[in-house]
Amino acid sequence: MQTDELILTEAFCNYYKIDYSFIADLQRVGLIEITSVERATYIPESELQKLEQLVRLHYDLDINLEGIDAIAHLLEKVKHLQNEVIGLKNRLKLYEDF
């Protein structure tokens, strides 16, 4: 497996000065995805933005794992609702143009 689009978990932890157990906990509750290649663990680039957001919630705002899980769920729901509103506006615009 190629690691071009993967970030070494250890490098991420060193850069942000966080403990690996936090990332393992996020994976355990299903908030992020970690890939293992041989004996190293990697974070897919697609997960990077979400992981950085979760790190800020925990370390900057001192929110526990359960709170982060609730916030992540609500943010996902808001994103879904925003997409639904955009779709409905586009459909409404079709009828208004007639």
pLDDT beyond 90 at 60: yes
CB-CB contact of 57 with 46 (8 Å): no
pLDDT in tens, 9-25: 999 999 999 999 999 99
* Sequence-ordered alpha helix ranges (H) in the chain: 9-16, 20-28, 45-55, 65-96
What is the domain extent for residue 56?
6-96
Report the CATH number that the domain containing residue 81 is assigned in CATH.
1.10.1660.10
User: Is residue 1's pLDDT more than 60?
Assistant: no
**pLDDT by residue (tens digit) across 73-88?**
999 999 999 999 999 9
Report the alpha-carbon distance of residue 40 to residue 8 in Å, rounded: 7
Q: Is 1 a member of any domain?
A: no
> pLDDT for 36-46, tens place per residue?
888 899 999 99
d(CA 33, CA 48): 10
The pTM of the full predicted model, rounded to 2 decimals, is: 0.79
